[in-house]
């Protein structure tokens, strides 16, 4: 049998994720959880994140910048990624179901869902960009916290 046992590590990973809306990577989760659990290992973080994902309690999002990101919000919704700072945010709009209808019309497979990713410059970067231009490297990884 495959019963699920309690683990404070898993609990705190879930709790940490729930309190964030920046869609952290496994490594960001690890770095932060380490404050409360200095002995937790990266392996445990990965194991729990994928367990939580398969339980449907978190969702994984691939944004093509190397590491996967994790989202505590499992309701279908769209994302935005900033080409300047690389941050990932939620887009506060309802997914457009009609897209799937449109897609199905010309597609021979069955369509069960979809995701969307918007690109551009986030609000914070836009301010900076307006002030002083060309401040060196684009898309530098944001710090662990």
Partner DNA sequence: GTGTTTGCAAACAATTTGCAGAATT
Partner DNA sequence: AATTCTGCAAATTGTTTGCAAACAC
Q: Is 101 in the site for DNA (CB under 7 A)?
A: no
Binding mask 44-63 for DNA (x = CB under 7 A): x-xxx-xx------------
Of its own copies, DNA, none, which one does residue 121 interact with (CB within 5 to 8 Å by kind)?
A: its own copies
Burial of 66 (0-12, 13-18, 19+ CB in 10 A): exposed
- Using CB under 7 A, which of 22, 37, 57, 61 touches DNA? 37
Task: Select from 48, 50, 45 the least CA-distant residue to 28.
Answer: 45
Q: Is 111 in the site for DNA (CB under 7 A)?
A: no
Burial of 97 (0-12, 13-18, 19+ CB in 10 A): exposed
Q: Is 141 in the site for its own copies (CB under 8 A)?
A: no
Question: How far is the C-alpha of 69 from the C-alpha of 95, rounded, in Å?
Answer: 20
Question: How far is the C-alpha of 96 from the C-alpha of 115, rounded, in Å?
Answer: 10
Q: Is 35 in the site for DNA (CB under 7 A)?
A: no
Q: Is 10 in the site for DNA (CB under 7 A)?
A: yes
Task: Select from 101, 84, 5, 97 the least CA-distant residue to 48.
Answer: 5
Q: Which residues bind its own copies (CB under 8 A)?
A: 60-64, 68, 78, 80, 82-83, 89, 91-93, 96, 99-100, 102-103, 105-123, 125-126
Query: Interface residues with DNA (CB under 7 A)?
Result: 1-10, 25-27, 37, 39-44, 46-48, 50-51, 66-68
């Amino acid at each position: 049998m495959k019963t699920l046992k309690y683990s404070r590590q898993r609990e705190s990973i879930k709790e940490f994720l729930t309190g964030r809306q920046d869609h952290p990577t496994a490594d960001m989760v690890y770095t932060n959880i380490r404050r409360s659990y200095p002995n937790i290992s990266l392996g445990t973080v990965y194991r729990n994140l994928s367990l939580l994902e398969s339980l449907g309690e978190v969702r994984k999002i691939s944004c093509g910048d190397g590491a996967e990101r994790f989202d505590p919000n499992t309701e279908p919704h769209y994302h935005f990624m900033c080409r300047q700072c690389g941050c990932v945010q939620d887009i506060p709009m309802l997914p457009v179901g009609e897209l799937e209808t449109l897609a199905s019309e010309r597609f021979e497979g069955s369509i069960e869902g979809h995701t969307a990713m918007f690109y551009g410059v986030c609000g914070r970067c836009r301010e900076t960009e307006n002030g002083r231009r060309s401040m060196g490297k684009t898309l530098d990884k944001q710090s662990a916290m």
